[in-house]
Structure 1
Amino acid sequence: MTGPRLIADPDVVRAGSGAPLVLAHGAGGSVMTNFGQLIDTLSDTRTLIGVNYPGSGATPPDPDALRLDVLADSVVQAAVDAGFDRFPILGLSLGTAVAVTAAARHPDRVTGLLLTVGLARADEQLRLVVDTWTALVDAGNLRALAAYLVSLASPKVLGALDRAAADEAIAAQLATYPDGGADQARLAAAVDIVDICGEITVPTVVFAAGQDRIVLAETTRRLAAAIPGAKLIDYPDAGHIFTPDEAKVWIADIADFLREHRL
C-alpha cells in the first residue's frame, strides 16, 4: 500500500461511547444528514466516527481530494486518531466504495463492512442522475436541483406528498445541500471497484433498496455478489434514502450484524 494522502483540515464527527463504528457518507450528503438517526440510536453503545468529505460539513472544498483512496485513508485515520486500532465501517452509497477501498488498503484495521445502497461499478441510472445533477449545478439552479433530488425518492414517499409537503422537502434539501455535492456525485459516477471487491475477507453485509432510483437495486445486489461471503439484505419497498421507519429496521439489522460477528 502506498502512504496515505489525507483530506486537509477534515471535519470529523464523533459521538457516543463504546466499541467503534466508522461512518462513510454518500455523495451530496454529510455524516449527520446520512447517519443522524443511526447516531441517535446507537450512541449509547457505540462510538460513531465519521469524516465529512471535502465540501460537506465544515470540511473545505477540495475537488483534488475527492478520490476513493484519499477518502478511505482519511476515514481510517480519523478512527485511529480517536484511539481505535481496529473497527468496522458502515458506508452509504458512494460511502460503500470508500469503505471497500479502506478495507482493501487497511486490512490490519478494518474488521467488517456494512454497505448500504452501494455499488461496485456505476450503472447508467446513476450516471444519468449525475449528468442531470451536475448540469443543474453548472446552471446555478439549486432549487431545481433540490426538486430533482426530491423527485428521486421512492414511489411510496412521493405518493404521500401533497404540494405543501413537497415544497417543505425541497426546502429541506436546499438547506442541507453541501457545496461539494456535485464533485462528490461525479466521483460516484466514476466508481469501479470490482477488482478489489474480490480481495475482501472480512464479514460483510450489503443492504439493497428495491425502489432505489439513484443506484439500481440490481447494482447493489451485484456488489454483494462481488464480495466473497457477503450477506445480502433486501428492503423491497425502500428508496435510496430511507424513511425514519425504514431506517429503524436498517439500524436494527446493523446492530444484529455487529453483534453476530462480535464487531
Structure 2
Amino acid sequence: MTHPHLVADPDIIATGTGAPLVLAHGAGGSVGANFGQVIEALSDTRTLVGLNYPGSGATPEAPNTLDVNVLADSLVRAAVDAGFEKFPLLGLSLGTAVAVTAAVRHPDRVTGLLLTVGFAQPDQQLRLVVDTWTALAARDDRRALAGYLVSLSSPAVLGEFDRQAADTAIAATLENYPAGGADQARLAASVDTVAACHQIGIPTVVFVGGQDRIVLPQTTRQLAEAIPGATLIEYATAGHIFTPPEASVWIDDIREFLRDHEL
C-alpha cells in the first residue's frame, strides 16, 4: 500500500560515492536538469541522492501530491532508503522550500542547508511569471512556453544570443520540460515557509542570482535574513539558472561550505 504522505512510484536518483548530499530540484526541472553539473563534479567524493517530483523524470504526474510537506517527507525517505541516517540538503528555487520544510519536519536527519535562488514566500515577479507560464501551458503552446522561459534568462546570457543560439536554447528547453512543470510552478507560487525558516538551527548558506528574473534577488536575500545565522553568497551577474561557468563557482562554494561545516 502506498503511504498517503509520500510521492507514489518516485523516480529516485542515487549516484556517486562517499558522504551524502541530497538534492531538491526546482519547478519545471528535474534532478538531472537542475543538478547535472553538480552530480558530475561531486560524484567522485559524494553520494548524490535526489527525487524527481510528480511529473518530472519517470515520476508519474500526481497534482494532488504536489505539496511541500509530501515532497519533503518523500525526499528524506529516499535518502534514508539509500542508506543515510543524516545528510545536508541542496535545494534550488522551489527546492529551497522543500529543503527548509524537510529540515523542520526531520531535524534528526537534516544537518545543513544549501539554498539556491530560493524564497520563503513568492514575490510579485514570481507570481507574474507563474501566471504567464500556466496560461501558456493551458493553451498547450509548448514552443511559446519554452520561448518565454528562455526569455527569463539573465541579461548576460540573452546579450550573447543570436537567433540561432536562441532557437537552440528553446529546443533544449522543450526537450527537458517536464509534463508536470505547470503544476510544479503553481506550487511554487503558493509556498510560505517563513515560520519554518525561523526554526532553522543548522548551518545554512543562501546563494543569490544577482540578475534573477524569476525570483527577485531581494527575495532570496530575505530568505537568508529569515534563517538565523545563514550565510549569504551572491553571484552578481547570474540569473535563475546558472551558466556552466557560474555553476562551477557555485560548486566550489558548495564544496567549501560542506568542508567548513564538516557536513
TM-score by length of 2: 0.98
1:171 is matched with 171
1-side partners of 2:123 and 2:108: how far apart?
31
Equivalences for 1:1-263 in 2 at 5 Å? 5-263=5-263
2-side partners of 1:203 and 1:11: how far apart?
28
Report the CA distance between 1:214 and its aligned residue: 0.2
2-side partners of 1:25 and 1:136: how far apart?
22
Report the CA distance between 1:21 and its aligned residue: 0.2
Q: Following TM superposition, where does structure 1 have runs of at least 4 consecutive aligned residues deviating by more than 3 angstroms?
A: none
Any idea what SS the aligned residue of 2:228 has? coil
Paired letter, 1:43: S
Any idea what SS the aligned residue of 1:170 has? helix
Any idea what SS the aligned residue of 2:214 has? coil
1-side partners of 2:65 and 2:214: how far apart?
24
Q: Deviations over 1:173-214 (max 9, x none)?
A: 000000000000000001111011000001000000110000
Any idea what SS the aligned residue of 1:7 has? coil
Aligned-pair identity in percent equals: 72
Unaligned runs of 5+ in 1: none
Instruction: Give RMSD over aligned pairs.
Output: 0.8
1-side partners of 2:174 and 2:129: how far apart?
17
Report the CA distance between 1:4 and its aligned residue: 7.5
Any idea what SS the aligned residue of 1:111 has? strand
Report the CA distance between 1:250 and its aligned residue: 0.1
2-side partners of 1:156 and 1:15: how far apart?
33
TM-score by length of 1: 0.98
2-side partners of 1:5 and 1:135: how far apart?
29
Q: Deviations over 1:20-67 (max 9, x none)?
A: 000000000000000000000000000000000000000000001100
Any idea what SS the aligned residue of 1:113 has? strand
Do the aligned partners of 1:4 and 1:73 also contact (CA within 8 Å) in 2? no
2-side partners of 1:186 and 1:168: how far apart?
27
Report the CA distance between 1:165 and its aligned residue: 0.6
Any idea what SS the aligned residue of 1:239 has? coil
Counting matched residue pairs gives 261
Unaligned runs of 5+ in 2: none
